[in-house]
Structure 1
Amino acid sequence: MNIIISNVSDKPLYEQIKEQIKNAIISGELEDGEALPSIRALANDLHVSVLTTRRVYDELESEGFVITKAGKGSFVAPENLELLRESKRRMVETKLLEAWETAKSLGISKKELYSMMDLLFEED
């Protein structure tokens, strides 16, 4: 797992780290039951505070993405993939709703909006 953090990003460091770990789980780079680096090791690798990495792991655990076993470390929680996918779907739905409301306020029809989406998919 390769985590890249940016000091010039608007997002706090812990949020950048947390999102990249979640994405690694969704993409299958990290699998169910796989051990995550220790809090201290991750902090050292990323040159951040141990408190920052502890916050990341605590939040991932509270969201159900990670489980922590005392004395053994933190692991990718089993059956997490569907939870993560659903979380991402909700985020996309929110963004699409914003786009639709903006399009309506600008007088863009459903057909035009669909055409724009088709173009975006073709470019990808």
Structure 2
Amino acid sequence: MDIIIRNSGGVPIYDQITQQMKGFILRGELKEGEALPSMRLLARDLRISVITTKRAYEELEREGFITTVPGKGCFVAPRNLELVHEETLRRAEEHLSQAVDIARTGGVTLAELTETLNLLYGEESS
């Protein structure tokens, strides 16, 4: 699991960690029940504060991606298919919203954008 921290872009470090770990879980790179690195170890490896990793882990737990077992550590939570679907849809909506803004600015019609999306998704335009 390689987490990459960027100091530019204005995204808080804890949020970068949270988003990347969600991605690992959603893509199956981190499996159900798999142990995560301890907060201290992750903080040391990323050269950041333990408070930052704690905040990221708390966010992941609050959103149902991980569970904490006292004295044992943090583990990938059992996959809730509805949660996985909802998170994936939310991420897609964010990107599609950006695409719509770009298309509108450039004068691309809804029909052209829909056709492009259909092509990218692998379906024939109807």
| TM-score computed with the length of structure 2 as normaliser | 0.80
1:20 is aligned to 20
Secondary structure at 2:17 match in 1:
helix
Closer, same or farther: CA 54–115 of 1 in aligned 2, 3 Å: same
For residues 105-120 of structure 1, what are the structure 2 equivalents within 5 Å?
108-118=108-118, 120=120
Question: What CA distance in whole angstroms lies between the structure 2 residues aligned with 1:7 and 1:94?
Answer: 22
- 1:45 matched residue in structure 2: 45
Superposed CA RMSD:
2.5
* Rounded Cα–Cα distance in structure 2 between residues aligned with 1:42 and 1:105: 42
- What are the within-5 Å matches in structure 2 for residues 1-124 of structure 1? 1-80=1-80, 82-93=82-93, 95-96=95-96, 108-118=108-118, 120=120
- Distance in 1 (alpha carbons) for counterparts of 2:98 and 2:30: 32
Q: How many percent of aligned residue pairs carry the same amino acid? A: 50
82-91 vs 32-41, greater mean Cα deviation: 82-91
Gaps of at least 5 residues in structure 2 are none
After superposition, give the CA deviation of every residue in 1:72-93 in whole Å (9 maximum; x if it has no partner). Answer: 0000001245413321213323
Label 1:10 to 1:101 Cα distance change in 2 as closer, same or farther (>3 A): closer
Deviation of the 1:117 alpha carbon = 2.4
Q: Which runs of 5+ in 1 are unaligned?
A: none
